[in-house]
C-alpha cells in the first residue's frame, strides 16, 4: 500500500524522510507540490509528503487547493493518507498536548469547492460519508501511540470552520451543543475529497489550546505554532512507528468510490 502524509500547521519539513526530493504534479485543478522519499525509520518504505499550507505557510485554510492536492496524491497511486491538523479543544478530556484521531466531522465551511463531481461529463455522484475516516488505520495508529506513551484519544468530532479568523465564544458554545470535540480550519473538504477519490483517510488532530471562551485568554496563531513545535518529537515518533503499519495490507470498511477519478 502506498502512504502519504499531509502536513498541516507546524508540520512543514519532512525531516523524518531520507533522500527527499520535491516535484510538481499537474492536475486539472492546478499544480501540487509533493515531496517523495523514504521513511528514515524504515528505509525500504517510500513515502509521499504534501505541505498543505505551502512554503512559508503562504496559504490560509480557505485558499488551500484541496482538489489539486488530493488529485495529485491519487494520481501518484496513494492508497492511504495520514493528515495532521492543529486544533482547539471543546472537550476537557482532550487537553492541549493530546493527539486525537477524529472519526466524524461537522462542516461549517462556506466558500470552498468540496467535490470533484460537478455534473456534466464527470457525472453526479453522492458519496457516502457515514464513516469518513478509516477505522482500521486509526486503530493501528492508536497502537503506535500507546507504544510511545503518547496521550491519544481514538475518536472525536472535528468541527471545520472557514477561517482564517478564530471562532467566537458563541460559536464554540454552539459547536459543543452539536457534539463537537475539536475545532480547526482544514478538515473539510480534504476528507471529503479523499473519500471521493477512494483513499483511506486518517486525521491526527494535535490539540494546541482550548477554544474561544474556554481558554481564559485571547487566541493567537503563535501559541498554536509553539505547541506544535513542542509536540514535534512525539509526532515524529508516531509517524515513524505508525506509517509502516499503514503500509501493510489489511482490511478496512472504507467504501469503494462510485466513480473512479483516474481510470
Question: Which residues does the annotation place in the binding site for substrate?
Answer: 185, 209-211
* Contact between residue 5 and residue 50 where contact means Cβ atoms under 8 Å apart: yes
Q: What DSSP string runs through 3-58? A: EEEEE-TT----TTEEEEEEEEEEEBTEEEEEEEEEETTEEEEEEEEEETTTGGG-
DSSP label at 67?
H
What phi, psi does 158 have (nearest 5°)?
Answer: -95, 115
The CA distances from residue 70 to 41, 59, 84, 120, in Å, are 25, 16, 14, 21
Run of H or E including 160: strand 157-161
- If one counts every other C-beta atom within 10 angstroms of the C-beta of residue 54, the result is 15
The interaxial angle of helices 232-246 and 135-148, nearest 10 deg, is: 130
What phi, psi does 85 have (nearest 5°)?
Answer: -155, 135
Dihedral over Cα of 75, 76, 80, 85: its sign: negative
**Would you list which residues are annotated within the binding site?**
9, 52-53, 185-186, 209-211
**Would you list which residues are annotated within the binding site for phosphate?**
9, 52-53, 186
DSSP label at 61?
G
Q: Within its chain, how far is the Cα of 215 from the centroid?
A: 24
Question: Which of 180, 184, 140, 144 lies closest to 164 in space, CA to CA?
Answer: 184
Amino acid at each position: 500500500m502506498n502512504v502519504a502524509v499531509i502536513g498541516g500547521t507546524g508540520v512543514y519539513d519532512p525531516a523524518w524522510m531520507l533522500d527527499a526530493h520535491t516535484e510538481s504534479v499537474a492536475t486539472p485543478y492546478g499544480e501540487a507540490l509533493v515531496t517523495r522519499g523514504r521513511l528514515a525509520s524504515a528505509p525500504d518504505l517510500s513515502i509521499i509528503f504534501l505541505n498543505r499550507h505551502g512554503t512559508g505557510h503562504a496559504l490560509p485554510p480557505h485558499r488551500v487547493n484541496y482538489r489539486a492536492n488530493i488529485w495529485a496524491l491519487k494520481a501518484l497511486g496513494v492508497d492511504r493518507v495520514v493528515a495532521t491538523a492543529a486544533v482547539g479543544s471543546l472537550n476537557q478530556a482532550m487537553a492541549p498536548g493530546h493527539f486525537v484521531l477524529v472519526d466524524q466531522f461537522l462542516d461549517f465551511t462556506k466558500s470552498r469547492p468540496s467535490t470533484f463531481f460537478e455534473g456534466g461529463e464527470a457525472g453526479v455522484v453522492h458519496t457516502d460519508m457515514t464513516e469518513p475516516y478509516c477505522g482500521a488505520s486509526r486503530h493501528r495508529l492508536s497502537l503506535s501511540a500507546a507504544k510511545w506513551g503518547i496521550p491519544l484519544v481514538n475518536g472525536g468530532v472535528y468541527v471545520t470552520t472557514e477561517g482564517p479568523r478564530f471562532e467566537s465564544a458563541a460559536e464554540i458554545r454552539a459547536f459543543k451543543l452539536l457534539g463537537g470535540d475539536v475545532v480547526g480550519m482544514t478538515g473539510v473538504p480534504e476528507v471529503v475529497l479523499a473519500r471521493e477519490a477512494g483513499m483511506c483517510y486518517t486525521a491526527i488532530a494535535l490539540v494546541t489550546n482550548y477554544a474561544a471562551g474556554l481558554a481564559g485568554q485571547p487566541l493567537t496563531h503563535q501559541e498554536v505554532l509553539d505547541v506544535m513545535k513542542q509536540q514535534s518529537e512525539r509526532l515524529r515518533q508516531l509517524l515513524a512507528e505508525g506509517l509502516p503499519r499503514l503500509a501493510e495490507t489489511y482490511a478496512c470498511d472504507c467504501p469503494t468510490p462510485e466513480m473512479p477519478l483516474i481510470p
